[in-house]
Amino acid sequence: MKNRAIQLRLLALIDNNEEASVHNQCHTCQLRLIPISSLENLYQWECYKDGFIIMFTHDKEKNPAIGRLTEIYQLSRCEAVCALHFIQTPSISDIATNSYRSPETVRNHLKRTMQKMEVHNQAELMKKLIALAAL
């Protein structure tokens, strides 16, 4: 990592076992630190350090991952938004609250997303979404 201050901030968060978003030099880009303990069924070797995943995210309005999801997997914008919320919190009720949708609608969006992305469980979905969001 080129920015030493951001690197030190991330390492301090890891030492304190905290989940957080850290703004990068760009105003719309963020580094998101996710403890592996908050995600089920991911293997230890997929982590950055001490059980954490570092993910690059963007401002919701300008997030290029939405475009990639709609272009590559033909997801609707609502399905793509729910999928990106799923990365941040795998809880259906939290996604529903944060995206102002009913839990049943979120469940349906994620189900169709899994079908279109050809994955069979939420862990596979999470892996694909994290990889796609990191591009």
| pLDDT one-digit tens code per residue, 54-84 | 665 555 556 778 888 999 999 998 899 899 8
Query: Chain-wide mean pLDDT for the chain?
Result: 77
The residues near 23 (Cβ < 8 Å, ≥ 6 apart) are 29, 30
What are the residue ranges spanned by the domains of the chain?
Answer: 1-60, 63-135
Closest CA to 115 of 68, 84, 79: 79
124, 39 in Cβ contact below 8 A?
no
Q: Residue 8 and residue 42: Cα distance in Å, rounded? A: 25
Q: What is the predicted pLDDT for the residue at 44?
A: 45
Instruction: Kindly state the tokens that stand for 26.
Output: 């760009």
The dihedral built from the CA positions of residue 58, 64, 65 and 67, taken in this order, carries a sign that is positive
- The answer to pTM > 0.85 is no
Task: Give me the pLDDT at residue 27, please.
Answer: 46
User: Which strand (E) or helix (H) includes residue 93?
Assistant: helix 92-99
User: Which residues are CB-neighbours of 52 under 8 A, at least 6 positions away?
Assistant: 14, 33, 34, 35, 36
Between 34 and 58, whose confidence is greater? Answer: 34
User: Rounded to whole angstroms, how far apart are CA atoms 93 and 9?
Assistant: 30
Query: What CATH number has the domain spanning 63-135?
Result: 1.10.10
